[in-house]
A and B are shown apart, each in its own frame.
Chain A
């Protein structure tokens, strides 16, 4: 299987001198295309930090990051346009839906594909397909304010998929959902990973989700471990 994400000796420190916060001292791991990976660690361990570095949002202190075959970070960003990488390669999902309140559902979903140069008609077609898949096609013209939390979260997931990303980074996507809906979302992410050959990293605090995933990333003593499900269970951490 092809590599989707690879990191080598990734380090992230915040601040300097007295205010120095060492969050991650060594992240060296590899995630393959089609894998759904759970990122589980205690609060403050650096899960979001790690995700944001992989997502080219946060600049690491040192180390290397590959996205697909492309080395994007080698002690410095190798491209000036991290935002272009983000909108072309990555789909983001968060705990809150973070939809743009002045755009309707359909416009929220086609925003990034259109910026990527996909024509309006094509972007709309794909967006409606996704909304249909999530059972909210009839809400395409609604404003986010008029949808329920669960509906909005599904729109947010549709938005993350709309640009056919190679990587999906999901930061606690199920935290706001009940357990049944949580399982649905994770199963869906799993399905997407398989069908679209997309790598998905999903931050979660919910151990019950682990069996649904392919592997587990965890952070202990500022070091990142990439474990198989069995390995993770046997370690009995957290």
Chain B
């Protein structure tokens, strides 16, 4: 049996492939957008997985320290430490900065931790050059993406800092590259007011001491203690909000997933609808172009089913071809994006299924035209 779709595609191959490539780019963008979303979800968890505590203790009634601002006293670290069931604790600060790197402003996220403390914020696996912070002042560890070199100095606030280590793949929950500072430096940068403010506070009898505050305290529990129970106890007696690592993960990802998936979902739907319309219109015009031949085929006795099969197959081939062009396209460009793009096979598979379904829908207007073509009108006169 002659495959009409194959013959027709072969006959107008250039146009067919060009259209598929165009639609393929749209589908490639869909894949990239889904990849951006996957990247966001992964980014959101990098930092908390690097610190990897069992409990996050933050300001009461807040969703801190990332989703909402939170301040707790630094000495909470020491009072928690002596609690039954707590093994290690650490006080941490988090703050967004804009720094100057070779004349360019770069948005970074600063993590302050006590280099002499019990828990480090730096995952040694991610440290690719140099070392973690050892001194309590003027040392910084930076993510490679920022573009800083080992031993380079940068200015933060009023002071010069030396880059002592470079990490790879470390980002904030919002995807900004990280720098790490000693807790004391970070506190100074975050909490020390301007000279004017300090003088003003002094006159009012307010003592401002930078080292009093941090954004949260994290803790590792001893083996055999129920984390939920510990969390409840701390929350109750210390008037703090306490989250387990998994709860913190949910705080970071749930909202993000909700918002971002809605956003990206909208774009994806729009692009798929546009792709469907393009494929539908192209197939329709291709059908119109050969409507005379289709009428002749009907006149000669070719059943509708054969002609419809041709249209459907052509549309499917166009959709599938476009999908693979899109897949190729997305793999060629995904690493050129500033933020993490993660292409996953199951996302591509889902898009493939959607494209197949969309192609079937796209073939409908062509099919409608085929059915309405009148064989008696095929031959003029």
Contact = CB atoms under 8 A, between A and B. Distances in A.
B381 A103 contact: no
A27 to B, nearest CB: 17
A57 interface: yes
B1 interface: yes
A166 interface: no
Interface stretch (B22-30, B98-106, B184-192, B299-307): B299-307
Contact of A100 (B297, B375, B379, B381): B297
Interface string B75-112: 00000000000000000000000000000000000000
B201 interface: no
A110 B1 CA distance: 9
Given A48-B381, A52-B376, A107-B2, A102 B301 contact: no
B317 to A, nearest CB: 14
Contacts of B8: 102
B379 A112 contact: no
Interface residues of B, number: 25
B302 A112 contact: yes
B11 interface: yes
Interface in B259-313: 290, 292-293, 296-303, 306
B291 to A, nearest CB: 12
A55 B376 CA distance: 10
A92 B1 CA distance: 21
B11 A57 contact: no
A220 interface: no
Given A48-B381, A98-B378, A102-B12, A112 B296 contact: no
Contacts of A48: 379, 381
Given A110-B2, A114-B1, A100 B296 contact: yes
Contacts of A84: 301, 303
A83 B303 contact: yes
Contact of B7 (A107, A112, A171): A107
A61 to B, nearest CB: 14
A71 interface: no
Contacts of A94: 379
A102 B300 contact: no
Interface in B328-381: 375-376, 378-379, 381
B366 to A, nearest CB: 15
A236 to B, nearest CB: 26
Nearest to A86: B301
Contacts, number: 71
Interface in A86-145: 86-88, 90, 92, 94-96, 98, 100-103, 107, 110-112, 114-115, 120, 143
B296 A57 contact: no
Interface in B203-257: none
A58 interface: yes
B16 to A, nearest CB: 11
B258 interface: no
A185 B5 CA distance: 33
Contact of A102 (B11, B296, B302): B11
A137 B381 CA distance: 31
Given A48-B379, A100-B293, A102-B12, A83 B302 contact: yes
Interface in B1-19: 1-2, 4, 7-8, 10-12
Contact of A88 (B290, B301, B306, B379): B301
Contacts of A92: 299-300
A102 B376 contact: no
Contacts of A96: 379
A98 B296 contact: yes
A98 B12 CA distance: 18
A101 B11 contact: yes
Contacts of A98: 292-293, 296, 378-379
Given A48-B379, A57-B376, A101 B293 contact: yes
Contacts of A114: 1-2
Interface in A48-63: 48, 52, 55, 57-58
Nearest to A58: B376
A167 to B, nearest CB: 13
20 contacts: A48-B379, A55-B299, A58-B376, A83-B298, A85-B301, A87-B301, A87-B302, A92-B299, A94-B379, A98-B293, A100-B297, A101-B11, A101-B290, A101-B293, A102-B290, A103-B2, A103-B4, A103-B7, A112-B301, A114-B2
6 tightest Cβ-Cβ pairs between the two chains A and B: A87-B301, A102-B11, A86-B301, A102-B8, A98-B296, A83-B301
Interface of B: 1-2, 4, 7-8, 10-12, 290, 292-293, 296-303, 306, 375-376, 378-379, 381
Given A48-B379, A57-B299, 16 more contacts: A48-B381, A58-B376, A87-B301, A87-B302, A88-B301, A101-B11, A102-B7, A102-B8, A103-B2, A103-B4, A107-B7, A111-B297, A115-B306, A143-B11, A159-B300, A171-B379
Interface of A: 48, 52, 55, 57-58, 83-88, 90, 92, 94-96, 98, 100-103, 107, 110-112, 114-115, 120, 143, 159, 171
